[in-house]
Structure 1
């Protein structure tokens, strides 16, 4: 409609139709005629836009394990990467000599999903090279062409959201609701923002100038970097794969994605959907590559001279190794590492009102979230009430697999899924036990042996009360379904507790007065804060996402995230090249005739331009004029 109004008021169109007479009668006649022509042009424009920006349909075969009734697989008693490769049923028919393999399995049931050959250094280098070759064409695509890819992906995801959610559930053990919120909703939000606002963030930008450079025009253009990489964690295989890929592609880059060994089955399927979309839209699918390897081979990616940016999502330990490897070629890195996110509950807060958000913040995805709530800091007068709320809910929470075939007596509706593996169970139990011995009150706190899924990895939803800052559990990231409730006496103490860890990713503040909440939020050492809410700073994809301290540096999401995947190039040129251009005054030209007068000219120029009052500026101008005549 804005375009239609602009056409109606276009001076050229109005002049052409209204030059015969200035009478009111003819002026009144001009308007409907101009409206007719403008509307016709508008319809043509809209039809062109729709034809060239509409989503392109594409198909991608649904994997059999995405069906809940699927049970045609071996159940692994203790599934873990290479541990079952001695079983001939899990190896390829003709394994390649000298190559290593990865097993993929459903952690909620132990069912084997597939065995994959692990990439070695040579294969990683070849994939980077293929991505680089394809990017030479992709970087010249228009924003309209890139938007069409994004719109096609968004439509496909919305139309196939249930299958995508089930694929994520099968490979991670999460519930459908956790997949809907953490995989589908967030990815749709990311795509929508890129479609609507991505071009605004990356189009050439005019910058302001100063008086001395009034005859110049300054711009910043955002050029693609080339081949960028993303090394992502396993907790959200759809979103963690698609998010850096769509951002990298829209910025004009090709992308090499290294997925976690835990989720190679689902990640391969999700990324292949993007490849099919690119092919359907007429682009080379080689611009996206998937790498899955053992840690020993990862440096072929992180230290490659052909990788121009690295986005890392994962643990602090691995993140430090990635950052160190990237220094070999000074490759820029965005690190999103661990967190120990606090939630401060201000005095007199309505606990029943906000309890559902707090519970979701702790137990979403069984606590396996970088921005999950790990510490709830509540005033001592409300501690008992909050602990009771959590205790009642935790006692009723059902855990299990939403992807298991129906069995007698088993309730398919579950609030919590499995953990990705049992590797950290003993460590979690030890931390909880130590806290208990130190005076904390514990409900849950141990591995759960599921009656129907004896080979799945389950941990009891847990609440630990009366936690204080001296306990190890208050400082170590748990990444588990464990709520820590920490009482405080003053707001100052609550802020000190919140800031008392080495992490600084996300946070939340709840309270009856929003202004008080905002005051507290501004005192927190972190990258993001939700007020009377949880984690919504990620649903708004216009915001940068990232943390401080040991939680990493750099940002993805929002304009900052897109621009970090580009080279911001400053260009300055003459506004009126035929009338005025830069020249060197003779008093400053080589060879210098007099150091004294050269200095007088330059110092006078500074006073003229930057003097603190008009008298100083005039004196500076007089000095400049005087020095200019001393040749």
Structure 2
């Protein structure tokens, strides 16, 4: 039997060994989840939302325990890990409060005497989730699925297997029917084949994936072959645009958080800082000063603001991206090197003079590396912002109406004016282009996992 091994990215030490599910184990998990879906779809909405509310309550009770697990498995500073658990609890509370309106029958005037839309469960939702937000990524989809009357089969990243199993136990402890959310443990080499087999199974109704473009393309192809609904939240190379009339001090201070939260390991982190030439030098000076103030260190220390990256291979790939960018003409302002220590450490990095075609402009840099790009004017800023295959978030800084007008010309799933891009349980979240399709969170996210049924009475 194969095993999955988790490691502490701050030290490189082994945390745990987990036996991977074989074919029989995957079948048992799927069978249990499918059986639970048949019961859950007929459970009343108030009872379903009561479960979601209880999950939120347990998250608040166990926040320190879960935060410590997140920090151990993927290196997130404990202050950020606690914030992640709290955000999960908030999402549960928002769904429990607002989903009655989101899922209520929606009357529509027509030629019939009565007509309406109803939102009905799909069945089993298969979820393929990443390591960077071990609890948030899962509960973001799971709250929606459970509220809608669906069951969930989770294939989490092997790097956070402890979190995956803790989430399964969390839902069970909240009083869910057996099998309502099951986690399968799959070795990395077997993920593609197991996922294809699950998606081909008639007991699975839909799939949601957060991850890389390559993983998204493979899952979408398998879902398409089976004619099943898919929701994809993939990569991003979000522009953070600073216009000539921006409050540069505020923009630069926010830029540090927007790039370096979670050690830059977020699809929705700002990655390309497109700055008008009139304010570029002031922005760069303030930005670099803010980066220098970051505290790199032990992620279990509450004072730490930058922990390690999640894995050494990811750190090494990021260093290579920086080196290629410098060879192509970018200027290394600060950082750029691996930190010589056990674990997956890298210096927070700022590149200036980045231009289209350079690695740091074209590729997603999934780690603590910021690319500063100079724009001649508003039109050039828009051209640079849109010069990407991605389209997740965009942040624009300037006089409000001016920044809003510029932002409307940038292609993205979310636009934030004078604020960093962030998800909110009350607002839909998702992208366009190669950042994926479909939405999570809010009414739109809950309804993604339903059959929108038209009912007409003559």
TM-score over 0.5 (shorter chain): yes
1:162-217 per-position Cα deviation (integer Å, ceiling 9, x unaligned): 22211111111110222233x124313321221111111111111111xxx2x521
Whether 2:305 is the aligned partner of 1:415: answer: yes
Contact 1:232-1:260 at 8 Å conserved across structures: yes
Structure with larger RCO (C-alpha < 8 A, sep 6+): 2
Paired residue secondary structure (1:496): helix
Paired residue secondary structure (1:237): coil
Whether 2:404 is the aligned partner of 1:503: answer: no
Paired residue secondary structure (1:244): helix
The Cα of 1:412 is off from its aligned counterpart by 6.6
Superposed, 1:301-340 pairs within 5 Å as: 301-340=198-237
Normalised to the residue count of structure 2, the TM-score between the two structures is: 0.95
The Cα of 1:392 is off from its aligned counterpart by 2.3
In structure 1, the residue matched to 2:68 is 166
Superposed, 1:79-228 pairs within 5 Å as: 99-181=1-83, 183-209=84-110, 213=111, 215-228=112-125
Paired residue secondary structure (1:127): helix
| Cα distance in structure 1, aligned partners of 2:318 and 2:39 | 50
In structure 2, the residue matched to 1:561 is 445
Whether 2:456 is the aligned partner of 1:572: answer: yes
Normalised to the residue count of structure 1, the TM-score between the two structures is: 0.70
Whether 2:367 is the aligned partner of 1:466: answer: no
| Cα distance in structure 1, aligned partners of 2:8 and 2:20 | 19
Contact 2:120-2:450 at 8 Å conserved across structures: yes
1:554-578 per-position Cα deviation (integer Å, ceiling 9, x unaligned): 111111111111111111113xxxx
| Cα distance in structure 2, aligned partners of 1:562 and 1:490 | 40
Paired residue secondary structure (2:231): strand
Whether 2:338 is the aligned partner of 1:447: answer: yes
The Cα of 1:311 is off from its aligned counterpart by 0.6
Contact 2:331-2:351 at 8 Å conserved across structures: yes
Of stretches 365-374 and 124-133 in structure 1, the one that deviates more from structure 2 is 124-133
The Cα of 1:125 is off from its aligned counterpart by 2.3
In structure 1, the residue matched to 2:374 is 487
Contact 1:124-1:300 at 8 Å conserved across structures: no
Whether 2:170 is the aligned partner of 1:284: answer: no
1:216-252 per-position Cα deviation (integer Å, ceiling 9, x unaligned): 2101111111111111110011111222222111101
Of 530, 544, 553, 2:428 maps to: 544
1:62-83 per-position Cα deviation (integer Å, ceiling 9, x unaligned): xxxxxxxxxxxxxxxxxxxxxx
1:65-108 per-position Cα deviation (integer Å, ceiling 9, x unaligned): xxxxxxxxxxxxxxxxxxxxxxxxxxxxxxxxxx2111012111
Superposed, 1:227-266 pairs within 5 Å as: 227-266=124-163
| Cα distance in structure 2, aligned partners of 1:425 and 1:161 | 28
Contact 2:350-2:372 at 8 Å conserved across structures: yes
Contact 1:109-1:401 at 8 Å conserved across structures: no
| Cα distance in structure 2, aligned partners of 1:112 and 1:530 | 40
Of stretches 527-536 and 338-347 in structure 1, the one that deviates more from structure 2 is 527-536
Paired residue secondary structure (1:458): coil
Paired residue secondary structure (1:298): helix
| Cα distance in structure 2, aligned partners of 1:499 and 1:305 | 40
In structure 2, the residue matched to 1:375 is 272
The Cα of 1:397 is off from its aligned counterpart by 2.7
Contact 1:121-1:300 at 8 Å conserved across structures: no
Check 1:118–1:350 CA distance in 2 against 1; reply closer, same or farther (3 A cut): same
Contact 1:113-1:265 at 8 Å conserved across structures: no
CA RMSD, aligned part only? 1.6
Superposed, 1:56-75 pairs within 5 Å as: none
| Cα distance in structure 2, aligned partners of 1:158 and 1:357 | 28
In structure 2, the residue matched to 1:349 is 246
The Cα of 1:298 is off from its aligned counterpart by 2.5
Contact 1:245-1:257 at 8 Å conserved across structures: no
Contact 2:21-2:184 at 8 Å conserved across structures: yes
Question: Number of residues paired by the alignment?
Answer: 453
| Cα distance in structure 1, aligned partners of 2:140 and 2:291 | 32
| Cα distance in structure 1, aligned partners of 2:101 and 2:74 | 36
Paired residue secondary structure (2:312): coil
1:271-295 per-position Cα deviation (integer Å, ceiling 9, x unaligned): 21111112xxxx4131111012132
Structure 2 residue runs of 5 or longer lacking an equivalent are none
The Cα of 1:542 is off from its aligned counterpart by 2.5
In structure 1, the residue matched to 2:403 is 517
In structure 2, the residue matched to 1:384 is 281
The Cα of 1:302 is off from its aligned counterpart by 2.8
Check 1:439–1:114 CA distance in 2 against 1; reply closer, same or farther (3 A cut): same
| Cα distance in structure 2, aligned partners of 1:567 and 1:177 | 39
Contact 1:205-1:220 at 8 Å conserved across structures: yes
